[in-house]
Amino acid sequence: MEWRGGKVDRETASTETDAQFVTLKTERMPDGRLKRIVKDRETGEISERIENAIKN
């Protein structure tokens, strides 16, 4: 992946979800829930996770 300043490794640039998954993308949905697109480090499988909104 290339980004203005040069090449960037997607997994290194993304945030850590946990030991097994790497977060590739995070989106806030209109209803307040959080959708994460994650990649399994071992299998390379990409999946979506939807988390409930935090209520204050």
Bridge partners for 23 per DSSP: 38
Tokens of 52: 């409930």
Q: pLDDT tens across 1-51, in order?
A: 544 655 555 554 445 557 888 889 999 999 989 999 999 999 999 999 998
For residue 52, pLDDT over 70 is answered with yes
Q: What is the pLDDT of residue 13?
A: 44
Residues contacting residue 37 through CB under 8 Å, at least 6 positions apart: 23, 24, 25, 26, 46, 47, 48
pTM of the model: 0.59
Where exactly are the structural domains of the chain? 2-51
